[in-house]
């Protein structure tokens, strides 16, 4: 029986199978044998750690298929893109997995730009490892990661923020699919943006000065401050901004008109795109696609 080497980085690349999933795989192999070959890079297992473990435990035969990789990063990237679709991963798990490759994506993009379409780019293309030849930036790297992971760029951006700022309990719920990236991102942003306040001694009466400094609550921004004020989560709490408070939201036409009147130019476009991204994440590609088709049918005239 062939003895292979288990590399911890490759073995722990994807989330482990659940007990039920592992038991199901073991039952299938015991009944039908190990039908899928184990992919190895020399003696190192790249794909098939669970199958190898089961075959070793029960003394079963298995086939080994050799693949060539230049580096361990290349082997990990191949394992990710070939194994991920076999697992029922949540959007946050996909994002977490993709973020492991962020340094590699940025480095590859720089290599591709430096090669300028030369031999290095061709070699990567042959190995299925080529990234888009685009300017290297945080935004472009995120887009490439999101595309490979099969999630939206917006979800990738929010998931990366959560990976840095969310507590472990929240991350656990996200991995289990018990909450959504959008919901937790909004709450995390509010916590991060919340200003630190210093406790002051309470007094029985507020001073007239303090009363005069309090800004009146209103849904309308002051004329001097309303120009180009975005109502977005990224703004600091101290920045005056327009809010939805006081705007009737039970009538879509009224809401859209209010958004157009009170918010900066382009706000509605961004709102629609984020709503579509949320729909894609929560209800899936089929629902999001059907809504997009209906929008195109109603409002986009075909050229004649």
Q: Is the pLDDT of residue 53 over 50?
A: yes
Task: Identify the residue with better confidence: 283 or 76.
Answer: 76
| Angle between helical axes of 252-262 and 267-283 (0-180°, round to 10) | 130
Give the pairing of strands 44-47 and 64-66: unpaired
Taking residues 40-63, report their average pLDDT: 95
User: Looking at residue 51, what is its pLDDT?
Assistant: 95
Give the tens place of pLDDT for each residue, 224-248: 344 444 444 444 444 445 556 556 5
Sheet containing strand 44-47, edge to edge, reads: 44-47, 38-41, 64-66
**What's the Cα-to-Cα distance from 105 to each of 100, 111, 136, rounded to whole Å?**
10, 10, 9
Domain ranges across the chain: 1-88, 89-191, 244-299
What predicted TM-score, i.e. pTM, was given to this entire model?
0.52
Question: Of 228, 221, 269, 223, whose CA–CA distance to 242 is shortest?
Answer: 221
Give the tens place of pLDDT for each residue, 92-123: 999 998 888 888 877 776 766 665 544 444 44
**What's the Cα-to-Cα distance from 29 to each of 20, 33, 39, 46, rounded to whole Å?**
14, 4, 17, 19
User: Looking at residue 292, what is its pLDDT?
Assistant: 87
Residue 163 CB neighbours (<10 A): 14
Taking residues 147-167, report their average pLDDT: 90
**What's the Cα-to-Cα distance from 82 to each of 3, 15, 26, 128, 248, rounded to whole Å?**
23, 14, 21, 11, 49
Task: Identify the residue with better confidence: 219 or 190.
Answer: 190
- Rounded CA gap, 116 and 128, in Å? 18
Question: Out of 5-9, 137-141, 244-248, which region has the weakest mean confidence (pLDDT)?
Answer: 244-248
Question: Of 12, 157, 175, 168, whose CA–CA distance to 99 is shortest?
Answer: 157
Contact (Cβ atoms closer than 8 angstroms) between residue 197 and residue 187: no
Task: Identify the residue with better confidence: 218 or 58.
Answer: 58
User: Looking at residue 257, what is its pLDDT?
Assistant: 66
Q: For the range 80-83, what are the long-range contacts, defined as Cβ-Cβ under 8 Å and sequence gap of 24 or more?
A: 80/13, 80/14, 80/148, 81/128, 81/148, 82/39, 82/47, 83/13, 83/14, 83/47
User: Looking at residue 184, what is its pLDDT?
Assistant: 93
User: Looking at residue 269, what is its pLDDT?
Assistant: 81
Quote the mean pLDDT of the chain: 75
Question: Out of 79-83, 111-115, 179-183, which region has the weakest mean confidence (pLDDT)?
Answer: 111-115
Provide, rounded to the nearest whole percent, the portion of the chain with pLDDT above 90.
31
């Amino acid at each position: 029986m062939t003895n292979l080497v288990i590399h911890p980085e490759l073995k722990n690349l994807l989330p482990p199978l659940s007990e039920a999933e592992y038991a199901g795989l073991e039952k299938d192999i015991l009944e039908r044998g190990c039908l899928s070959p184990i992919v190895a890079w020399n003696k190192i297992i790249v794909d098939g750690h669970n199958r190898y473990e089961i075959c070793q435990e029960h003394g079963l035969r298995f086939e080994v298929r050799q693949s060539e990789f230049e580096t361990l990063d290349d082997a990990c990237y191949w394992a990710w893109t070939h194994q991920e679709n076999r697992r029922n991963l949540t959007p946050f798990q996909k994002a977490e997995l993709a973020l492991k490759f962020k340094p590699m994506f940025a480095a590859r993009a720089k290599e591709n730009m430096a090669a300028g379409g030369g031999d290095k780019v061709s070699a990567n293309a042959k190995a299925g490892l080529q990234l888009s030849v685009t300017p290297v930036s945080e935004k472009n790297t995120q887009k490439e990661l999101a595309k490979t992971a099969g999630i939206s760029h917006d979800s990738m951006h929010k998931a990366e923020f959560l990976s840095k700022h969310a507590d472990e309990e929240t991350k656990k719920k996200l991995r289990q699919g018990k909450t959504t990236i959008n919901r937790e991102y909004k709450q995390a942003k509010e916590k991060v943006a919340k200003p630190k306040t210093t406790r002051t001694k309470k007094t029985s009466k507020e001073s007239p000065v303090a009363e005069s400094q309090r800004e009146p609550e209103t849904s309308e921004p002051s004329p001097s401050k309303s120009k180009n004020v975005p109502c977005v989560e990224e703004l600091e709490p101290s920045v005056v901004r327009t809010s939805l408070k006081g705007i009737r939201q039970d009538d879509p036409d009224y809401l859209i008109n209010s958004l157009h009147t009170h918010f900066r130019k382009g706000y509605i476009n961004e709102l629609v795109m984020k709503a579509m991204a949320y729909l894609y994440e929560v209800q899936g590609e089929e629902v999001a696609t059907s809504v997009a088709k209906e929008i195109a049918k109603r409002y986009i005239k075909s050229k004649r």
